[in-house]
Structure 1
């Protein structure tokens, strides 16, 4: 699974549309449901934002092993490709923790059931 895909840039070359992939923990939430299962159930199916995503990557999304996060990445004038890549790599690293933490909160009690006596 690629960590991120660049889908294109604006006509000025100053902003890129990026889709990032983050690994979903293989652990259970507070209701005893695996986060990957909960994610798949919550989404009700998966369609990647990446056109032509290969079958292996699509399978990893379909099973909840990975999730996607889309963003606009702004570049700076005079910035080299190496500098852009380093900033985008750093953004992926920083976002990974927050995206997964937010997902864990959203799915923390997914699947909880109770019959009140």
Structure 2
């Protein structure tokens, strides 16, 4: 009787675990405009490292087409002006181009308000 009860309880716990795993959602990373702006400002001021830049530009922004365009623009700037140095990751020309991206983002923010 004890063996049967233990077996039944084990099966129920196992089924519960399987059910819970089947209904869990995959975590999603979603960068908002304020986060993108903060990351951009950190890069411009020399406070960001290579890893932070990768997080900033490494994920598509399907939820915000305008932000996706700015991300793609940043990637083009990276191709031409990225140095990976410390503290600034970009050349002076690259930093100026990133400032322009920042201006566009701030203008878009004002339009949406």
User: So what's the TM-score if we normalise by structure 2?
Assistant: 0.30
> Which is richer in strand?
1
Please state which structure has a larger fraction of its residues in helix.
2
Structure with bigger RCO (C-alpha 8 Å, 6+ apart): 1
Pick the structure with greater CA Rg.
Answer: 2
